[in-house]
């Protein structure tokens, strides 16, 4: 009924338009949406993926159906051995499984199921693109009407010269190629940036290694200089300690000699005289002998 009404409306519009534009004639074109979809690579690829999902869904439904059938068969075979309560319990389990299977089937293939939604999401972008291209072609080539051959409109005859499906398809493919070119260019730019970043990272790493080597060399030189300074300082300290020890020993001998003289004791003691055999004057400390 709707098809007849639409056809009648289309004929009326064509008649009115023809009467208004009789001098130049009415230009009518058509497209074959199914043909266009079949030749759009993006749609074909996505449609193949969706078909794979459909097969998995069907396989799941068949598996669930087999489970329900097996439960029913087991109940039939065991019914005579079961009590009324057990039979009712098993029947309830079968009903739950059967309801789950039916719900799963509706969720996937029902009027508002995943298949309808995903098919619409798959077709809608291309339909929008076709609609925009048809508007451009109609304006550019002065078409008065453009129909969709694959829709509900009854077309008893359609001359191929009025088929603009290939024009629409070429426009879609050109747009896709431009999109791919942009994507490739963006990918190249991203790759170039990544390569540049890698080169910069390598350069930074190289500089860091060089700086670390220089820092290590400087530290090594500083450590060597510190060891030299410490060695010199230690030698000077040892020399100073030796001089100080000799000076303290000399002062102690002077004090001892003074004490010995005051006490009327011989100096140096006989043991020191015999052992040292010094040239200094007896009874006087070193360095204080007579002239």
Segment 130-167, tens digit of pLDDT = 888 888 888 888 888 888 887 766 665 666 777 778 88
**Which segments of the chain are extended strands (E)?**
28-31, 145-148
Res 21 pLDDT > 60: no
The CA–CA distances, whole Å, from 165 to 30, 36, 51, 140, 146 equal: 7, 7, 25, 15, 11
Res 67 pLDDT > 90: yes
Q: Give the range with max mean pLDDT: 7-11, 59-63, 240-244, 283-287.
A: 59-63
User: Which pLDDT does position 269 carry in this prediction?
Assistant: 67
- Residue identified by tokens 């829709």 is 151
User: How does the average pLDDT of the chain come out, rounded?
Assistant: 78
């Amino acid at each position: 009924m709707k098809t007849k009404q639409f056809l009648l409306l289309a004929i009326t519009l064509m008649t009115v338009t023809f009467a208004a534009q009789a001098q130049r004639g009415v230009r009518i074109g058509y497209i074959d949406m199914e043909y266009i979809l079949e030749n759009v690579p993006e749609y074909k690829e996505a449609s193949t993926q969706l078909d794979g999902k459909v097969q998995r869904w069907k396989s799941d439904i068949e598996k669930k159906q087999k489970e329900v059938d097996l439960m029913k068969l087991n109940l039939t075979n065991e019914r005579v051995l079961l009590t009324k309560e057990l039979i009712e319990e098993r029947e309830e389990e079968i009903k739950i499984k059967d309801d789950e299977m039916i719900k799963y089937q509706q969720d996937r293939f029902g009027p508002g199921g995943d298949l309808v939604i995903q098919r619409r999401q798959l077709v809608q972008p291309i339909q929008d693109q076709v609609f925009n291209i048809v508007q451009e072609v109609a304006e550019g080539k002065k078409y008065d009407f453009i129909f969709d051959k694959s829709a509900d409109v009854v077309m008893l005859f359609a001359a191929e010269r009025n088929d603009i499906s290939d024009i629409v398809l070429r426009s879609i493919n050109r747009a896709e190629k431009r999109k791919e070119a942009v994507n490739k260019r963006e990918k190249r730019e991203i790759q170039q940036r990544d390569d540049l970043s890698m080169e910069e990272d390598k350069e930074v790493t190289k500089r860091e290694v060089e700086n670390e080597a220089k820092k290590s060399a400087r530290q090594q030189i500083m450590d060597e200089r510190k060891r030299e300074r410490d060695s010199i300082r230690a030698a000077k300290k040892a020399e100073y300690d030796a001089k100080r020890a000799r000076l303290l020993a000399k002062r102690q001998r002077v004090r001892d000699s003074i004490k010995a003289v005051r006490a009327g004791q011989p100096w140096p003691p006989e043991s020191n005289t015999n052992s040292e055999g010094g040239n200094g004057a007896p009874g006087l400390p070193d360095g204080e002998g007579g002239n």
